[in-house]
Amino acid sequence: MGPTPEAVVVEHLRVVRGGREVLPDLDLVVPAGQVVGLLGPSGSGKTTLLRAVVGVQVVASGRVTVLGHPAGSPPLRRLVGYVTQQPSVYDDLSVTDNVRYFADLAGAGRDRAAEVLEEVDLGPVAASRARALSGGQRSRLSLACALVGDPRLLVLDEPTVGLDPVLRRDLWALFARLAGEGRTLLVSSHVMDEATRCDRLVLLREGRVLADETPAQLLARTGATDADAAFLALVEGAPRGAPGTMP
């Protein structure tokens, strides 16, 4: 089967966690080969949606299709890379050994480990222990571990958290480069200004999609000058809270 034009298709996804409907009825298409930002305040359901995409979330109903296969199904094991909010990097191993460990798990060769370290610019610190890395280097190491199996889709949960603006910019530039190789990146963040760095953005609020468009379209539609203001404009303009709205 050839590559599908959509990397991810979510249809009527409903997820209940701890007795709460976290995603009531979500539809979403993530086009292939793009960097798609998933933005929204804390608790809006970003992690839950990403978990459903990688197939580790129990869903109440609906369907998630990834690269033409049901989310979490065996053919996707090598095709999807996932970096969680608390990435697992082994502090007592060197940078190279961390990546080699994941290369072994993915059935990739040692050459691939070296290649991936170059790709994320960690070549110069390859021999350092992971515990000695800076926050930005650590993020790139987890990314390297996810990249080693050569996934078509990378799912990254708040990869820029705790990084300064320069490192965040560099990391988004790296995401763009990876997308340029034909990969799809689905990247969550609660920092709205990161919206402008992605090809497309999805704004989530209380488990619902408020916007799903390009950053330029979002700004044009809301008349806002930045993503923060656009988000507020959408929240205030939402029928739910708007005064005088007829049912």
Ligand X SMILES: Nc1ncnc2c1ncn2[C@@H]1O[C@H](COP(=O)(O)OP(=O)(O)OP(=O)(O)O)[C@@H](O)[C@H]1O
Regarding 159 and contact with ligand X (CB under 6 A), the answer is: no
Cβ closest to ligand X, residue 49 vs residue 116: 49
Regarding 40 and contact with ligand X (CB under 6 A), the answer is: yes
With contact defined as beta carbons under 8 Å apart, do 8 and 49 qualify? no
Nearest-CA neighbor of 87 among 180, 22, 182, 171? 171
Cβ closest to ligand X, residue 119 vs residue 157: 157
Cβ closest to ligand X, residue 22 vs residue 89: 22
C-alpha to C-alpha distance for 81 and 13, rounded to whole angstroms = 21
User: Hey, what amino acid is at 54?
Assistant: V
Structure tokens at 2: 């050839």
Least distance from ligand X to the Cβ atom of residue 194, Å: 13
Regarding 42 and contact with ligand X (CB under 6 A), the answer is: yes
C-alpha to C-alpha distance for 118 and 124, rounded to whole angstroms = 9
C-alpha to C-alpha distance for 17 and 9, rounded to whole angstroms = 21
Regarding 43 and contact with ligand X (CB under 6 A), the answer is: yes
Q: How many residues bind ligand X (CB under 6 A)?
A: 12
Burial level of 42, CB count in 10 A (0-12/13-18/19+)? exposed
Contacts with ligand X in 181-240 (CB under 6 A)? 190
Structure tokens at 212: 């799903």
Regarding 45 and contact with ligand X (CB under 6 A), the answer is: yes
C-alpha to C-alpha distance for 169 and 156, rounded to whole angstroms = 15
Q: Which stretch binds ligand X (CB under 6 A): 16-24, 66-74, 117-125, 145-153?
A: 16-24
Regarding 46 and contact with ligand X (CB under 6 A), the answer is: yes
Least distance from ligand X to the Cβ atom of residue 119, Å: 27
Cβ closest to ligand X, residue 78 vs residue 190: 190
Which residues are at the interface with ligand X (CB under 6 A)?
17-18, 22, 40, 42-48, 190
